[in-house]
Amino acid sequence: MSETKTNAGRYFEDFRLGETIHHATPRTITSGDATLYLALTGSRFCLYCSDEVARSAGFPAAPVDPFLVFHILFGKTVPDISRNAVANLGYAEGQFLAPVFIGDTVSAQSEIIGLKPNSNGQTGVVYVRTTGFNQRKEIVLRYCRWVLVNRRAPGAPIAAGSVPNLADAVAAADLILPPQINFSSISNIDAGSTWRFGDYVVGERIDHVDGMTVEEAEHQIATRLYQNTARVHFDALAQRSSRFGKRLIYGGVAISLARALSFNGLEHAHWPLALNGGRHVNPLFAGDTLYAWTQVLDKADLGPAGALRLRTIATRDRPCADFPSQDDKGVYDSAIVLDLDYWVAIGK
């Protein structure tokens, strides 16, 4: 009998603590990728829409939206990390370290930094640190995530786990601005708002007002754009026997749509600097309408720009005028699908 040549993906017991995985399929990012991402998210941040605006801020041309870069590099990891995942659980220690431009080629590698078998004997949590590079081998981003993965042999004995100690947030002193960049030179007319760094107060909450319905076709196109092959997003037949009986929307779709919705109230918050943490609290399905609100958690003066630490909450089928969050026991409102903690650079 010949050896099977196809790849069914890894199960929990296939991972080894400390191993490094070099992911396949480097990707040259094109203007088509950037345009399709705008079409799928409706993002209006002018830095990614206009070469002229980008040049006024010191870039040679409009950079690729860092969250598009994140999703593409995330997609590289899926066949090796989360093809057999139940769910992606969270993020930590993410940093956007260098801009990516049209024509750049990105690739990714991941290190297994933690493994935790679950007591149910059916699944385990895999912790990874992923690093993304451009064609010059410069690091463009780095982040950690943890994912719930099925076991190949439920109930079989398995070694004790190891959970990494991850930071609650990236320190303001470790935030890295792109060199020679001046976000303050972007005009209020081009950005669409007069609100800048000094106008935001720690603790204030912003209802982003608008809602966006997630369509099945758009989710499928977005996830394919990122080359994310996780079965839970694509295989409708297999998902009929799952807990929910249907495909899940990739969590990155919720992240990007929440970021796009946040434009209304954060128009000058042009550049994501760090991803402190994130949880996909509840599943998102096709036909759900996403809303979002944001709280300013912290501020930092980075010299050429300000930085805001933001917590953005996204909900399904529930407007956010009353800022749905958690109760006194930490239990989330049932409508919440995303709780995202991140730093952004904003013009002064």
pLDDT digits (tens, 9 = 90+) for 255-266: 999 999 999 999
Mean pLDDT of 213-229: 93
CA atoms within 13 A on the CB side of 338: 29
Task: Give the phi and the psi of residue 12 in degrees, each rounded to 5.
Answer: -55, -45
| Percent of the chain scoring above 70 in pLDDT | 99
- Output 16 or 232, whichever has higher pLDDT: 16
Mean pLDDT of 159-180: 91
pLDDT at residue 2, as a whole number:
56
The single-letter DSSP state of residue 31 is H
Residue pair 61/277 in contact by the 8 Å Cβ criterion: no
The single-letter DSSP state of residue 9 is -
Structure pTM?
A: 0.94
Domain extent listing, the chain: 12-346
| Percent of the chain scoring above 90 in pLDDT | 84
pLDDT at residue 202, as a whole number:
98
pLDDT at residue 153, as a whole number:
85
Task: Give the phi and the psi of residue 220 in degrees, each rounded to 5.
Answer: -65, -40
Q: What is the dihedral of CA 259, 263, 267, 268, to 10 degrees?
A: 0
State the CB neighbour count (10 A cutoff) for residue 113: 18
Can you read off the two tokens belonging to residue 16?
Answer: 């080894």
Helices 251-261 and 216-225: crossing angle in degrees, nearest 10, is: 100
12-346 belongs to CATH 3.40.47.10: no
Q: What is the dihedral of CA 55, 73, 276, 302, to 10 degrees?
A: -20
Tens of pLDDT, residues 48-60:
999 999 999 999 9
Mean pLDDT of 74-80: 95
